[in-house]
Structure 1
Amino acid sequence: MLRIWGRRNSTNVRKALWCAEELGLDYEQIDAGGAFGVVNDPAFRALNPNGLVPVIESDGAVIWESNTIVRYLSARYGAGRLWPEAPAARAQADKWMDWVTGSLQPAFGPMFVGLVRTPPEKRDPAAIDRSFEASARLMAIADAALAKDAYLGGDHLTMGDIPLGSVAYGWFGLPIERPAMPHLEAWYKGLTERPAYRLGVMTPLT
């Protein structure tokens, strides 16, 4: 059975859980990270020396890095569905995965931590504002892409949607005034209607 280490309130863990749910996989989720600890235990460090979640074990293979996990599960269990088989189509999905990790998550993180995980009296309003502005600029790029296609990878859900879908849950869940982005909003609404997304991603923002 597939085993997934990580806490459900982690954006990166949500990627792995949503992917597994979308593929209909049986898996065991093991709480780790944050308040659960575990990540500094020698047994966990033997799995991932970085001490980060998520980590999966699949038929003896131990894999870490959230996008790599999504790619692995998609390739193994979702060829032609989450995993586009044509190289050009797969590259379209790949680029959005890397864009979220390299650009959007670093921009969005300070606002999320500031508004969700920091007591009001200790917040840095200027840092939150900068994070919001940077996140909004980047979300507008995704909105423009979704004006052309129903999903980031084309006409159906692929692995390319999973990282942004995991971050978008926080974006749309925070108590902020978001600029209108109709295509992003319609895409997100569609995600929230997917049972796999509700199970893998839509847990409390903490």
Structure 2
Amino acid sequence: MLRILGKASSINVRKVLWACAEIEIPFEREDWGSGFRSTHAPEFLTLNPNAMVPVIQDDDFILWESNSIIRYLASRYNNANLYPIEARAKARVDQWIDWQASDLNKSWSYAFMSLVRHSPEHQDSHALATACNDWSRHMEILNRQLDSTGAYVIGSEFSLADIPIGLSVNRWFETPLAHPDFPAVRDYYERLSRRKSYLLYGRNGTP
């Protein structure tokens, strides 16, 4: 059985849990990370030298990095509906997964640490205002994309790209800041919320 190491409140662990629910992969999860077993323990570092969750063990195969994990799971279990085989269709999914990791995530990092985690190192008012504006700018990009597809990030059908982006949308709405009116994003949030797996691991009240 697939083994998942990481606490369930982690947004990156939740990507893996949500993917497993969509693909119907049975798994066992172990609590690792802040508040649980330390990721700096020697037995964890042998699995991931970065000391970060999630990590999966699939038989004798070890993998870390959440986006790599969900791609692997979709490919391993032949779920072409989530992650296409055809090169251009797959590249479109990868484009938005990578955008979430490299651009969208960076835009909300400071604001989230300030407003949700209340980190003392993230309380500069100017930096916070800049971060909120940058986050809104990226959400506007997403709003335009969703407005053009009318449904999900890639098109009319749910894909692997909706997992990381759907979790970021949850974080957007659960963070106490002024939210510009992005109707397509709001509709997307409600559309995702009709999925049982999203209610379990996406819109579960844990930003």
Pair in the same fold by TM > 0.5 = yes
**Does 2:101 match 1:101?**
yes
Match of 1:18 in 2: 18
Aligned to 1:117: 117
Residue in 1 that maps onto 2:70: 70
Q: Give the corresponding residue for 1:162.
A: 163
Q: Percent identity?
A: 37
Task: Please list, as runs of the form range in 1=range in 2, the aligned pairs for 1:122-201 lying within 5 A after superposition.
Answer: 123-149=123-149, 150-201=151-202
CA distance in 2, matches of 1:204, 1:39: 25
**Any conservation in 1 of the 2:113–2:122 contact (CA below 8 Å)?**
no
Deviates more, 1:49-58 or 1:127-136: 127-136
Write the distance in 1 (CA, Å) between the matches of 2:21 and 2:38: 24
**Structure 1 unaligned blocks of 5 or more:** none
Residues 181 and 30 of structure 1, relative CA distance in 2, 3 Å threshold: same
1:27 aligned onto 2:27: yes
State the shift of 1:119 in Å: 6.2
In structure 2, the residue corresponding to 1:34 is in which secondary structure?
A: coil
Equivalents in 1 of 2:20, 2:39: separation in Å?
A: 22
CA contact (8 A) 2:5 2:31 kept: yes
Residue 5 of structure 1 aligns with which residue?
Answer: 5
Distance 1:120 1:52, change over 3 A: closer
- Report deviation, 1:110: 1.0
How many residue pairs align between the two structures?
A: 206
Tell me the CA shift for residue 131 of structure 1: 1.4
Shift of residue 195 of structure 1? 0.7
How far residue 128 of structure 1 moved from its aligned partner, in angstroms, is: 2.1
1:174 CA drift (Å): 1.5
Instruction: Please tell me whether the aligned partners of residues 8 and 203 of structure 1 are also in contact (alpha carbons under 8 angstroms).
Output: no
How far apart are the structure 2 equivalents of 1:121 and 1:25? 40
Deviation at 1:87, TM superposition (A): 1.3
Question: Secondary structure of 1:19's partner?
Answer: helix
TM-score normalised to the size of structure 1?
0.93
Per-residue deviation, 1:34: 1.6
Q: CA deviation at 1:185?
A: 1.2
Distance 1:121 1:64 in 2: 28
> 1:106-128 CA distances to partner (integer Å, 9 max, x unpaired)?
11011111111116897333222
Unaligned runs of 5+ in 2: none
1:174/1:151 Cα in 2 relative to 1: closer, same or farther (>3 Å)? same
What is the rounded CA distance, in whole Å, between the counterparts of 1:89 and 1:135 in structure 2?
A: 27
SS at match of 1:35: coil
Distance in structure 2 (CA, Å) of the matches to 1:148 and 1:122: 35
Q: What amino acid is aligned across from residue 155 of structure 2 in structure 1? A: G
Q: Say whether residues 1:85 and 2:85 are aligned partners.
A: yes
